[in-house]
Structure 1
Amino acid sequence: MLAACVVTVVLAACSGESSPEKGATSTPGVTSDTVTIGCSLPLTGHASYLGKQTLYGAQAYLNAVNEAGGVAGRTIKLITLDDGYDPPRCVANTQQLIVEDRVFCLFSYVGTPTTAKIIPLLEEARVPLVGSFTGADVLRFPFRRYIVNIRASYYQETAAAVDHLVSDLGFDRVAVLYQYDAYGFDGLKGTEMALKSLGLAPVARGSYIRGTMDVEEGVGRLLEANPQAIVMIGTYGPCAKAIKLARARGYRGLFYAVSFVGADEIARILGPGDDTPLLMSQVAPPPDLPEAAALLTGVMDYARLLARSFPEERPNVVGLEGFINARVLVEGLRRAGRELTREHFLDAIESITNFSVGIASPVSFAKDRHQGLERVYFTRFDHGHFQMVTDWGRIKEILAASAKMTSVPTELDGAGGPGAVGSDR
């Protein structure tokens, strides 16, 4: 499928040394007719859905740009490497992209533990990274000139979620299940800070090791504390298993997951027959929901271009984020013009204010602010699909109905079942 794209994609097995291109400038990755960018993200493994959909969304837009003649007379060449959501592989890929492939910039990385590890490489080589599918605080503070974030942060997601849990739903017993790595720690800290600001603290914390499905001990620890809500900072497979396990053990409270969990994939694993009270925050409104139409004036472009490049895929919020990343990248290249250098490109990014990317919230940057979006949206799981949350009173009603239920799945059903191990599509 990737080979069918108009954007030139060079997979890891095909990469290697090449002779200097005719008409090359002194800026790495820039020739008279091409600008080369690099991307490392999970195309295999337990986070591959997130990596693939981010890439599909970005490529859909870049394909269209190239078909229209590129930017400032240059087409965009994208070198894509698979890191399997493994930090050492991501570091090795990044070194290859910077040193061997001599890319102009890096683009659309996926994951906190992977992206956080390449910060020293970016700063030493002075290579920009534009748009990452992570809300990690370490990419935002202290301010880093060579990192351009677009999405809202995990601190913003968890702060908004905790505010709704406490203020709108009246909860005071919140537990946290987190992946034991930089990503999980970031989400845990954000949740703790948000609760502390309201005079509360997590009633329990449980964790699991990245790359495993070993959530039993963590879930058991949380249920002992009798929480009203469980915050989940993980990936779709382990989080889905945790939900099924907790429900099988009689838990009838609310689950909340941050955006990185992956709404479409966890919905697929849970299935249309599941009625779990599950909320998810998003940094862009889901493009396939009727309620989001007023918020997504440009979503038809995403859906149309995705269908052109990847006809088997359907629009989803992860792909939309990749699409938005690509729009910001291209706008920065457009503003930088023909005299393209990395520093000039970053200056151009910092000049972007109130730039529409097709959703209600415009993108804005500044010389001391490299996060383009701030808004957080909420969705709720409803028998296999996620719906926009517009009435928190309705969430209270759903929870009350769930608490009255007496029929529960068996322990075996909770821990197993189709898709429970988070297998890739």
Structure 2
Amino acid sequence: MKTPNANAWPNDQRPPLARRRSLVLALAGGAALASLPARAQPAAGSKGDILIGRSTALSGGMAPFLSPIHEGQEAAVEDVNAKGGVGGRKIRLVSLDDGFDARRALDNAKQLNEKDGVLALFGVAGTSQVMTLLPYLAQAKLPLISVYTGSPAVRAQQHPYLFTTRASYADELVKIVRNLVAVQTSRIAVAYENNDFGKLLLPLVEKTIAAEGATLAGSHALASSGEDANDAAKALAAQKPQAVLLVAAGPSVVAYVRANRAHLGVPIYTLSLGAGTAVLKALGDDARGLAVARTGPSPTKPTMALTRDFQASMKRHDKPVDYDRYTGYMDARVLIEGLRAAGPGVTRASLVQAMEGLGNLDLGGFSYQFSAQNHHGSNYVDIAVVGSGGVYRQ
């Protein structure tokens, strides 16, 4: 059995994101203006539950797309708690709804830190949300483990309290474009979401296409609601692309895939967040042929011990086996290993030290690499294609 290589795309092959460093500094400077109340960190000790804070979208348009990830996280936590927890202490997720809004995410982080006294944050979703939190994490010395954004802006400078578990969008884009070039599809159009996420990634997409020897046929913005998907597809059709690279998430993906079928008929490649469980369910057979960058192994192939553990967990919890739940499950397993390495008297400082000391972390066939110099545990990417009924081909 071949273990996926978490270092498949070395850092020096990643195209830089324009203005990413200035964005980090601008956001950090703005957030630093807010004063941080003096609060004591949670006391070290080995009694009581281990409180982990989770600010995420429990309501709003992105909630259905994140819900399966939450279920995977919760299953892994429930599994370890059923076996006595970590060092005899149970893990308790303290969840607050941010509605996928960056300001609410920051307010939630302050509440979780200053009122609830959580040990760490876990599983924050969204580029704007994470970028807004970074200065506060540094001030509060509050670890954040696992985020659901692959934006290179988040990784532009190593943050002392941020640990990621998924490949960056730069890694995903390189894999996508190389795959297209390998099958002699070199004329690529880009449909990108008309928000910070899409606008920040567009320069990186353009540079990746050029660096890999392909040609940018054209690009067109797409409303987050997807209401202008037909206009975008028609505009791109006029550029005669051989494929479309879709940089979007949520409702706009559903709308564009259908519009692409109607007006272009060329293959669509998208990032990992673009084809989650809710998107595939909404599309049904319309998702057939969609190619997706995946940042973890297949959840349905029981060739790894980790996958078998996940499948057994989903059976116990009566949940479907899919990529989204597997993502949440794997990320919670990394958190659990960090807590174990920190010992029963875990503190924020010892958790950070433990995460950096994990080194080569093998969860049972899938490996991560952490160190004091590297807080980004994986850059593994593969391409999966959706078959009939919205099910990935194996």
TM-score where L is the length of structure 2: 0.84
- Deviation of the 1:30 alpha carbon: 5.7
Q: Corresponding residue for 1:271?
A: 284
- 2:198 corresponds to which letter in structure 1? G
- Deviation of the 1:146 alpha carbon: 0.7
Note if contact 1:28-1:102 (Cα within 8 Å) is conserved in structure 2.
yes
- 1:76 corresponds to which letter in structure 2? I
Q: What's the CA shift string for 1:98-147, capped at 9, x where partnerless?
A: 22222111001122232222112112211110011221112222111111
Rounded Cα–Cα distance in structure 1 between residues aligned with 2:244 and 2:330:
30
What is the correspondence of 1:127-276 to structure 2 with a 5 Å cutoff?
Answer: 127-166=142-181, 168-211=182-225, 213-249=227-263, 251-272=264-285, 274=286, 276=288
TM-score where L is the length of structure 1: 0.78
Q: Corresponding residue for 1:304?
A: 312
- Deviation of the 1:353 alpha carbon: 2.3
Rounded Cα–Cα distance in structure 2 between residues aligned with 1:215 and 1:240:
9
Name which of structure 1's ranges 107-116 and 182-191 shifts more when overlaid on structure 2.
182-191
The 1:213–1:45 alpha-carbon spacing in structure 2 relative to 1, beyond 3 Å, is farther
Q: Corresponding residue for 2:298?
A: 286
Q: What's the CA shift string for 1:226-263, capped at 9, x where partnerless?
A: 111111111132112112112222x1211011100134
- 1:153 corresponds to which letter in structure 2? S
Rounded Cα–Cα distance in structure 2 between residues aligned with 1:29 and 1:326:
23
Note if contact 2:260-2:266 (Cα within 8 Å) is conserved in structure 1.
no
Note if contact 2:227-2:255 (Cα within 8 Å) is conserved in structure 1.
yes
- Deviation of the 1:276 alpha carbon: 4.5
- 2:72 corresponds to which letter in structure 1? G
Is residue 2:144 matched to residue 1:117? no
The 1:208–1:66 alpha-carbon spacing in structure 2 relative to 1, beyond 3 Å, is same
Tell me which structure has the larger Cα radius of gyration.
1
- Percent identical pairs in the alignment equals 27
Q: Corresponding residue for 2:29?
A: none
Rounded Cα–Cα distance in structure 1 between residues aligned with 2:43 and 2:81:
16
**Which runs of structure 1 show a deviation greater than 6 angstroms over 4 or more consecutive aligned residues?**
none
The 1:276–1:334 alpha-carbon spacing in structure 2 relative to 1, beyond 3 Å, is closer
Query: Alignment length, in residue pairs?
Result: 354
Is residue 2:85 matched to residue 1:70? yes
Note if contact 1:61-1:323 (Cα within 8 Å) is conserved in structure 2.
yes
Q: What's the CA shift string for 1:348-405, capped at 9, x where partnerless?
A: 11111222224x431110111111112111111212234357xxxxxxxxxxxxxxxx
Select which of 323, 329, 341 maps to 2:329: 323
Across the aligned residues of Structure 1 and Structure 2, the Cα RMSD in angstroms comes to 2.0
- Deviation of the 1:29 alpha carbon: 7.0
Note if contact 1:29-1:36 (Cα within 8 Å) is conserved in structure 2.
no
The 1:179–1:30 alpha-carbon spacing in structure 2 relative to 1, beyond 3 Å, is farther
Rounded Cα–Cα distance in structure 2 between residues aligned with 1:165 and 1:129:
35
Note if contact 2:44-2:345 (Cα within 8 Å) is conserved in structure 1.
no
Rounded Cα–Cα distance in structure 1 between residues aligned with 2:96 and 2:226:
23
Q: What's the CA shift string for 1:263-294, capped at 9, x where partnerless?
A: 4322222223x374310011012312xxx333
